[in-house]
Amino acid sequence: MEFVISHLVKSYGSKQVLRDVDFTFEEGRIYGLLGRNGSGKTTFFNCINSDIDFNSGEFYFRINGGEKILVMPEDIGYLVSTPTVPEFMTGREFLKFFIEVHEEIKPDRTIDEYFDYMMVPEDDRDRLLKDYSHGTKNKMQMLLNIIAAPKLMLLDEPLTSLDVIIAEEMKNVIRNQKQGRITIFSTHLLDVAVDLCDEIVLLHNGRLEPIDKNNLGDSDFKEKIIAALRDSEDD
């Protein structure tokens, strides 16, 4: 399976944020979407997630190099840097409600097994979500996407503001979840992209440009990437 973006364009008035974006993402790989703050990463994700309209272009899944399949809302999981959870519920109530509302989901684990997988402490599971740390709220947001098992995962700066331990735990979860789906991980941090991602794509002046990850150990090459990011137009 591939996720194909063809000639995607998005403008806000006279300002063109995405300029003829044309790229193919492959199943089973984590793609680092690297760009400066304000480069258009969130706009790009919001277009794919149908949160905003775009001016022209299309995107779709492609099977066996040929058949086009329309992207449906349930095919997409979207994780944002600032988690939004119903703070009047406990963690357990939230997961139970999510599973009951989405009757199409067939869980392959118990709720406590899901908690265990995400390393949510036992004493947090029956506490109100309003009392969760930022990192544990992020884990809950990620857990919903694991349960729903979407074909396409959009991760928009999900490690921002997390402490070192939770950030490493989240990286391991993301790595373990990449098989059978396409994962696009946006970040403005080059080192995070190099550490976590199989492929790196630069969002530069409204276009996607692939980067040879093997060259990233070369200091001169890194300087070129940083220079390109510095020259990128703001959103």
> What tens digit of pLDDT does each residue of 206-222 get?
899 888 777 766 666 66
| pLDDT for res 229 | 63
DSSP E strands: which ranges in 85-232?
152-156, 182-187, 199-204, 207-211
How far from the centroid of its chain's Cα atoms is residue 146's Cα? 12
In the chain, what percentage of residues exceed pLDDT 90? 65
- Structural domains in the chain, sorted by start: 2-231 (3.40.50.300)
* pLDDT tens digits along 77-124: 999 888 889 999 999 999 999 999 998 888 889 999 999 999 999 999
Mean pLDDT of the chain: 89
